Structure 1
Amino acid sequence: MTLKEKMDDLEHELSKIVGLQELKLQVRKLAKGLLMDEKRRAMGLNTGHRKAPHMAFLGNPGTGKTTVARVLGKLLHSVGVLSSDDVIEVQRSDLVGEYIGETALKTRDKIEEAIGGVLFVDEAYRLAKGESKDFGKEALEEIMSVLEDDSLVVIFAGYTEPMKRVFSANEGFCRRVTNFFQFDDFTCNDLAEMLMIKMNKQDEKSRLRGFKLHRSCTFDAVSEVIEKNSYEKLRNKMNGGLVDHMLNNARENLDSRLSFNSIGDELMTITLHDLEAGLQLLAHRVKID
């Protein structure tokens, strides 16, 4: 595959991701640097050793951190930084044990599983609670000990503010983790775009497979429904997850309003009213201070 084909492949993957324009620019910049280094090596130029690009993904849940991690895993594999494009996702419970000595073993097992690929540590701030008897710090130190090996890439992900505890919990963190990506919350238009994509590109596992939107569910109409029937804190807390809950609730509303005499398209058509009712139900159920 040529360098241009690799960049085109990255652009294709990025095109599937809604929003995050500033982050995409940052990803493109990282990709261009990796590809130019590949060209230099191919021409026999000595570029020196480039360390594994360990990263921190900062932002709220549902903003696409895991998706971007998979895209970067493919990129790092294609340019020879990694021998595999596997992304091993872990949380605190996968790394931290209940007894002395157990945490190091559990964490090492996950590191070994991720060798050659990406270790994605979700909610990484939970490893730095600041409590003297907490074993999370031990797991974090075990991970930090392999960051110089270049045998894998580690991505630490979590809320922006709590992640600062991780930065300060280990003095070598900011020296070893050199790429910081900010994942912004999605706008109402972003969420409407996600909803339209989910309804138009369903796979066999989709709970809404075969269902369609009524013609009144235009992009602008859906965006307006989201803006009017949810509040900013809810959207920022759930981001992409809001769309899934909204659609599931909309289907339930459709089922509730249909009669056993209903036939044809009406059995499979979600209306703007269903979407509105689905989001209102979500906003009622989820209380955020």
Structure 2
Amino acid sequence: MPGSQDGRLRLSKMATIHGCAQAGDLPGLQKKLQENPSLLNERNAVMSQTPLHVAAGYNNTNIVKFLLECKGPEVLELEAKNMYGETPLHMAAKNSSCGSAKLLLEHGAALEAKANNGMTPLHLAVWHAFQAGDCDTVSILLGYNADCSAKDDEGKTPLNHLPGGPGCEKLRRLLSRQMEEQRKRKALESCREGKAMVEFEKAISNIVGLKELKMQLRRWAKGMLFDEKRRSVGLSIAARRAPHMAFLGNPGTGKTLVARILGKLLHMVGILPTDKVTEVQRTDLVGEFVGHTGPKTRRKIQEAEGGILFVDEAYRLIPMQKADDKDYGIEALEEIMSVMDSGKVVVIFAGYCEPMKRVIASNEGFCRRVTKFFHFDDFNTTELSEILHLKMTSQDQNSLLYGFKLHSSCTIEAVAELISRETTEKQRKEMNGGLIDPLLVNARENLDLRLDFDCIDPDTLVTITMEDLEAGLCQLSGQHSSSQ
């Protein structure tokens, strides 16, 4: 009979330790373990879950408590993972099993454990809370200081998984408040231990030249760090404005590199929630037709939120002829200016000194919002040689020069003299640090060209000489001349 068959299925399920865990049958589960202690961490056939996974998912706290305190010959796997890489705490979180979550956390369950998709228990708890309208498990995890800025494999924080609309305002406020508190705590810890300034000094030590600029940056960075220190001892001081900036100088002078360093610094001291730098140019912001520029620019601003929006060649947003009322660049600039007081993004405008004057003059609020102007000088030949040596000694595995080295004759002085002899001042001014990468790529190609296939000396196979650098520079100069 059908009823009898259903009954037999239920009995069959109850006959397993996982069935006891699901049903909350503590005596049955205890009996199973007395008969066979190795069942403590037994995996079920389909989901590869332990009894603790199952009990936590069904919030059978009596079973969870017993398993956590079990003193048998087997050791409980508190961080066991199922087929999705989820721990028992993940199971409790995504099923709103508040009691089980508390017990697991009290016994030291890993709060930031990641499933196969990179989600932490907080990610899953937020997902459930949105579906069910129950924030209790989220509150428990936040009470244990779950990291609100943890990202899954899609780069999303728990807050990012919430859709827009009024349905989840309570949850959004809860997460936003906790995220802000965590950010401030991290910033204060960083300031107290001096980590931020140490990291900043380490980063700017990799910048060649630009002595005046580095002095300005140190002064500014130290001021921000002292502001955080003042707040940490209970002083009430005026908040600094969002540090919007203008980077003025020729291409290849390190403007993008400095922007990335600033992104890390602003994140370390708690001014920005992330260290990301979103680089854009006119083509990323300006549409071809009426009504296209606003939405296109707003999408880029939204992408940059929480970090730095780096507008390269910003002068291209302003037409050279004032009568050109069909140009949409001004609309893009106005969209950017409209969000600069919101505190959600820091904007850096970059470009040549002279053309950037058009941007500064185009909007009366520009100088009120952009409070820092940094000038990037051109590199001299010694500095270009230093950049070349720095690149050769800090290659990562994705670099075309990874594994190669310079011959001992390629000293900073010798390379500087070579650059002075084989390039023009105009060429150096137009390219600056941008001259080095193509020079090294050309030099490697020349090394390949002059080697014989019967060469077996490992050192010779990867050593770039002055001859290679000279050939690479001559080739680069020829390419530069033909493009003029």
The two structures have a TM-score, normalised by structure 1, of 0.96
Compute the RMSD of aligned alpha carbons. Answer: 1.4
| Match of residue 301 from structure 2 | 111
Q: Which residue of 268, 284, 288 maps to 2:478?
A: 284
Supply the distance in 2 between the matched residues of 1:41 and 1:243 (Cα, whole angstroms): 44
Alignment of 1:48-63 (within 5 A): 48-63=238-253
- 2:443 counterpart letter in structure 1: A
Whether 1:92 and 2:272 are equivalent positions in the alignment is: no
Deviation at 1:49, TM superposition (A): 2.7
| Match of residue 403 from structure 2 | 210
Q: Which residue of 260, 269, 283 maps to 1:70?
A: 260
Unpaired segments of 5 or more residues in structure 1? none
Supply the distance in 2 between the matched residues of 1:231 and 1:262 (Cα, whole angstroms): 36
Deviations 1:149-197 (A, max 9, x none): 1111100011111111100111111111000001111111111111112
Q: 4+ runs of 1 displaced by more than 6 Å?
A: none
Alignment of 1:10-29 (within 5 A): 10-29=200-219
Which shifted more, 1-10 or 273-282?
1-10
Larger Rg: 2
Deviation at 1:134, TM superposition (A): 0.5
Q: Which residue of 80, 99, 117 maps to 2:270?
A: 80
Deviations 1:227-248 (A, max 9, x none): 1111111111111111111111
Supply the distance in 2 between the matched residues of 1:259 and 1:249 (Cα, whole angstroms): 18
Q: Which residue of 256, 266, 276 maps to 2:449?
A: 256
Deviation at 1:79, TM superposition (A): 1.6
Whether 1:167 and 2:360 are equivalent positions in the alignment is: yes
Deviations 1:102-143 (A, max 9, x none): 100010111111111111111111101142110001000100
Whether 1:43 and 2:208 are equivalent positions in the alignment is: no
Supply the distance in 2 between the matched residues of 1:116 and 1:208 (Cα, whole angstroms): 34
Which structure has the higher relative contact order (CA within 8 Å, separation 6+)?
1
Supply the distance in 1 between the matched residues of 2:229 and 2:462 (Cα, whole angstroms): 52
- 1:91 counterpart letter in structure 2: Q
Supply the distance in 2 between the matched residues of 1:32 and 1:215 (Cα, whole angstroms): 39
| Match of residue 461 from structure 2 | 267
Query: For 1:237, what is the secondary structure of its paired residue?
Result: helix
Unpaired segments of 5 or more residues in structure 2? 1-189
Deviation at 1:44, TM superposition (A): 2.1
| Match of residue 134 from structure 2 | none
The two structures have a TM-score, normalised by structure 2, of 0.58
| Match of residue 79 from structure 2 | none
Supply the distance in 1 between the matched residues of 2:273 and 2:401 (Cα, whole angstroms): 37
Deviations 1:81-106 (A, max 9, x none): 11111111111111011111110001
- 1:137 counterpart letter in structure 2: I
Supply the distance in 2 between the matched residues of 1:63 and 1:112 (Cα, whole angstroms): 28
| Match of residue 122 from structure 1 | 312
Supply the distance in 2 between the matched residues of 1:201 and 1:80 (Cα, whole angstroms): 29
Supply the distance in 2 between the matched residues of 1:125 and 1:57 (Cα, whole angstroms): 12
Supply the distance in 2 between the matched residues of 1:203 and 1:137 (Cα, whole angstroms): 40
Report how many aligned residue pairs link the two structures: 289
Deviation at 1:260, TM superposition (A): 2.5
Supply the distance in 2 between the matched residues of 1:51 and 1:200 (Cα, whole angstroms): 39
Indicate the percent of aligned positions where both proteins have the same amino acid: 61
